Amino acid sequence: MKKSIKETVREAILPTVTELGYRIWDVQYSKIGADYHLEITIDSDEGIDIEDCERVHRAIDPILDEADPIEGFYYLEVSSPGVERELRTDEHLEASLNERVEIKLFCAVDGAKSFVGELSGFDKDTVTVISDGGERTLNRDNISKISTIYFE
């Protein structure tokens, strides 16, 4: 089975990013307007600033040129996930346990299409949050987006 561009890129740059002292938070490849963008999001326990992004960009650019995982021209972007970050993977959820999150739904549950609370757990089918209204377990198939919340 052929690997996706995101998987190929992650595998190619992971040793270098780790050696520099960072974690890969996410890899996204998308078309924005007429242009293709490869966005590498990095994180560390100390946080990320512009110098960190530049350091990683300079280190991975030649690796990606040599591996050549993407046909044609694309823009390479290295960024921080920010304080309020989208949680797309189980690794993101695990890293954000006990943090305040907002969960947006495709379809309303009990009349609401979003819930705010402390992320208390998850499994392959559900995500659980605790709020003033108590504990609520939501089906992952109905979740359109989960993000951490810094201010409410």
The top-level CATH class assigned to 90-148 is mainly beta
Instruction: Tell me the pLDDT tens digit for each residue of 53-101.
Output: 999 999 999 999 998 888 889 999 999 998 889 999 999 999 999 999 9
Torsion of CA 57, 58, 60, 66, to 10 degrees: 130
Q: What is the pTM of this model?
A: 0.80
**Residue 32 clears pLDDT 60, i.e. is over it:** yes
What per-residue confidence (pLDDT) applies to 134?
Answer: 87
Beta bridge partners of 43: 23
**Residue 133 clears pLDDT 90, i.e. is over it:** no
Architecture of domain 5-79: 2-Layer Sandwich (3.30)
What per-residue confidence (pLDDT) applies to 132?
Answer: 84
Torsion of CA 19, 21, 24, 25, to 10 degrees: 170
* Every domain range in the chain assigned CATH 2.30.30.100: 90-148
Please state, rounded to an integer, the average pLDDT across all residues of the chain. Answer: 93
